[in-house]
Amino acid sequence: MIKKPNLYLTILFVLLSMSCNRVQNEKSLKETQQEISILAEQVKTEFKHAWNSYMKYAKGHDALKPLSGTGHNWYSRSFVMTPMDAFDTMILMGLTEEAKEAKALILDSLDFNKDIMVQNFEITIRMLGGLISAYQLDGDTVFLDLAVDLANRLLPVFDSPTGMPYWGVNLKTGQTSGNISNPAEIGTLMLEFGSLSKLTGNHVYYEKAKRAVVELYSRQSDIGLVGEEINVETGEWTNKTCHLGGRIDSYYEYLLKSWLLFDDPDFLAMWEACILAIDEYLADSTDSGLWYGQADMYTGERISSRFGALDAFFPAVLALNGDIGKARALQENCFKMWEKWGIEPEQIDYASMEVISPSYVLRPENIESAFYLYHFTRDPVYLEMGKVYLNSLIKYCKTEKGYAMLKSVITKEKGDEMESFFLAETLKYLYLLFAPFETIDMETMVFNTEAHPIYKTWD
Ligand code: DMJ
C-alpha cells in the first residue's frame, strides 16, 4: 500500500515553497520590469532614428526613401503622410519636441483644395484618422477643421448607385473614379467618418459610411462570406475568393470596432454573423495548429492555404472579441511565420510553409496582435515575441538613413521604402507592448486600422 504523506508536513511544504516562489517571482518581476522599461526606451530610440532621418532627408515629403536618403510623394504634391501618421505616436511616447516639429509641418503644409485624384481608403485611414486622433490628443481645433474639410471633399465617393464608395475622388472637383473596389476599401471608413459625426454633430458622415457597410454586408453570400472585389455601381462580385488578407481584412476589423466605439447594435449583429462564417469556412485546424485560409464565398470550399503578414491582424481582433484561446493559437503560428525567416514574408503557404511572396514592407500586424494579447493576458510570452520583433527590425531593416523594407526576407535585400505606417503602427504597437499599462486606456478608445487612437468622448 502506498503510504499517504503526512497532511501537516505537506501543507508546510506547500506554504514554504509558495513563499520562496513569491520572493523569487518578486525578484524576477522587478528585473523584468527594468528590462521592459529598457525595451520601451529602445523602441523610442528607434522611432527617433526613423523620424530624424525623415526630417533630415525627406522633410515635407510624404515618405522617406531610406537607402537613397531622399523624399517621395504619393501624388503630384505632398500631404505630409509621415508627420501625420507619426504625430499621435509621438504624443503617446512623450516625444514633445518631435511632436512640435510634426505639428508645424502638418499645419504649414496641409491644404486639401488640390486638383488631385486620391485613394479614398488610404487618405481616410492615414489622414482623416490621423487628424481626428491629433485633435483628440492635442486639443487644437485646427486639426478638427482640417478633418471636416477633408471629409467633405471625400464625401462624393459615396455617390454611387449602391452607396458603396468609389475607389477615388478628386479633392478639388469632386470627380470620382474606380468602380471596382473591395470590402476593405468599402468597409474601413466607419470609425473615421462616424467619429467625425459624433465630434461635429453632423450626421452625414456616419450615415454615408454606415450605408456603405450595410450595402456591402447585404451582398454577402448565403453562407455569410464576401469576395475580394466588387463593382460598386452594379453590386456584382468580380472576385469570389474570401480570406482575411489584404482587400478584406479591415472590413471585419471595423465591424467589431464600430460596435465597440458607437454601441450601434447593427454592427454587432453583422460582426456576429461574419465571425460564425469565418470560423466555419476560413478557420483551418491543421497538424501545425490553427490557420485561416481562403475559401470560395459561395460554396465555402477551400481554395488555398495562403496566409500572410496582413492576415496576422486577426489574433488582435479575436482577442478584442474575447476569444483568447483562438487568438493565442493563431498568434503562435503568426510568430512561427516571423521566426522561420528571421522576419515575416508578405505571404506563405501554411500547408508547405513555403514563401509565396518574399517581401517585408515593415508591416505592423504581427506585432499588433502580440500587443493585444499581452494586454488581455499579461502573459510574458508576448513580451518575448516583442523582443524578437525589435531585434529583427534592427538587424535586418535599420539603415544609416532610416528603416528600409526588405525585397526578400530570404536574401534580406533591402528596398528604398519606409512606409508611414512604420511610425504610425509598427513602432507604436511595439512601444505599447513594453510601455506602462496606463500609457493608453483601452477601455475608452479603439485604434483605427492605421493605429490612430479614437477616443469615445461622446455618450
Ligand atoms: C496599414 O495601412 C493598415 O494597417 C491597413 O489596414 C493594412 N495595411 C497597412 C499596414 O500593413
DSSP 360: B
Q: Mean of the pLDDT values across residues 178-183?
A: 98
* Ligand 1 atom 5: residue of nearest CA: 449
Q: What is the largest CA-CA distance in the chain?
A: 91
Under the banding of pLDDT at 50, 70 and 90, the label for residue 1 is: very low
Under the banding of pLDDT at 50, 70 and 90, the label for residue 3 is: very low
Instruction: Determine if ligand 1 sits within 6 Å of the CB of residue 359.
Output: no
Tally of residues, the chain: 459
- Ligand 1 atom closest to the Cα of residue 313 is 4
Question: Computed over its alpha carbons, how large is the radius of gyration of the chain?
Answer: 23
| Dihedral pair phi/psi, residue 356, rounded to 5° | -100, -45
* Ligand 1 atom 11: residue of nearest CA: 363
What is the CATH topology of the domain spanning 112-280? Glycosyltransferase (1.50.10)
Comparing 26-30, 141-145, 197-201, 427-431, which segment has the lowest mean pLDDT?
A: 26-30
Beta strands, E only, 145-301: 168-170, 176-177, 180-181, 229-231, 237-239, 241-242, 283-286, 289-292, 294-296
Instruction: Determine if ligand 1 sits within 6 Å of the CB of residue 251.
Output: no
Q: Can you list the alpha helix ranges (DSSP code H) found in 283-424?
A: 314-320, 324-340, 365-377, 381-392, 421
Q: Calculate the average pLDDT of the chain.
A: 94
Q: C-alpha dihedral over 157, 181, 259, 425, to 10 degrees?
A: -100
The one-letter amino acid at 301: E
Under the banding of pLDDT at 50, 70 and 90, the label for residue 374 is: very high
pLDDT digits (tens, 9 = 90+) for 391-412: 999 999 999 999 999 999 999 9
Under the banding of pLDDT at 50, 70 and 90, the label for residue 375 is: very high
Instruction: Determine if ligand 1 sits within 6 Å of the CB of residue 308.
Output: no
pLDDT digits (tens, 9 = 90+) for 258-284: 999 999 999 999 999 999 999 999 999
Q: Are the C-beta atoms of residues 290 and 284 closer than 8 Å to each other?
A: yes
- pLDDT of amino acid 16: 47
Name the active-site residue from 98, 284, 346, 425. Answer: 346
- pLDDT of amino acid 11: 45
pLDDT digits (tens, 9 = 90+) for 350-365: 999 999 999 999 999 9
Phi-psi region of 140 (alpha: psi -120 to 50; beta: other; left: phi over 0): beta
- pLDDT of amino acid 124: 98
Instruction: Determine if ligand 1 sits within 6 Å of the CB of residue 61.
Output: no
- pLDDT of amino acid 459: 83
DSSP 418: B
pTM for this predicted structure: 0.93
Distance 450 CA to ligand 1 centre (A): 6
Name the active-site residue from 41, 122, 266, 296. Answer: 122
In the annotation, is 249 catalytic? yes
* Ligand 1 atom 2: residue of nearest CA: 450
Q: Which of 425, 426, 452 to mutate to test the pocket of ligand 1 (most atoms within 8 A of CB)?
A: 425
Is the confidence at residue 251, as pLDDT, over 60?
yes
- Ligand 1 atom closest to the Cα of residue 184 is 6
Distance 340 CA to ligand 1 centre (A): 23
Name the active-site residue from 192, 365, 419, 450. Answer: 365
The residue with greater pLDDT, 237 or 10, is 237
Q: Mean of the pLDDT values across residues 186-190?
A: 98
Q: What is the DSSP string of 238-267?
A: EE-EE-SSTTTHHHHHHHHHHHHHH--HHH
In the annotation, is 311 catalytic? no
Instruction: Determine if ligand 1 sits within 6 Å of the CB of residue 82.
Output: no
Question: Percent of the chain beyond pLDDT 70?
Answer: 93
In the annotation, is 365 catalytic? yes
* Ligand 1 atom 1: residue of nearest CA: 450
- pLDDT of amino acid 5: 40
For residue 10, count CB atoms less than 10 angstroms from its CB and return exposed for 0-12, middle for 13-18, buried for 19 or more: exposed
Name the active-site residue from 249, 284, 368, 425. Answer: 249
Instruction: Determine if ligand 1 sits within 6 Å of the CB of residue 363.
Output: yes
- Ligand 1 atom closest to the Cα of residue 246 is 7
For cell 483551418, the residue is: 284
Comparing 6-10, 98-102, 107-111, 385-389, which segment has the lowest mean pLDDT?
A: 6-10
DSSP 201: S
Between CA 365 and CA 7 the distance in angstroms is 51
In the annotation, is 159 catalytic? no
pLDDT digits (tens, 9 = 90+) for 122-177: 999 999 999 999 999 999 999 999 999 999 999 999 999 999 999 999 999 999 99
Instruction: Determine if ligand 1 sits within 6 Å of the CB of residue 130.
Output: no
- pLDDT of amino acid 186: 98
Instruction: Determine if ligand 1 sits within 6 Å of the CB of residue 421.
Output: yes
pLDDT digits (tens, 9 = 90+) for 8-40: 444 444 444 444 455 455 556 566 889 999 999
Distance 24 CA to ligand 1 centre (A): 42
DSSP 61: S
Instruction: Determine if ligand 1 sits within 6 Å of the CB of residue 364.
Output: yes
Q: Mean of the pLDDT values across residues 212-220?
A: 98
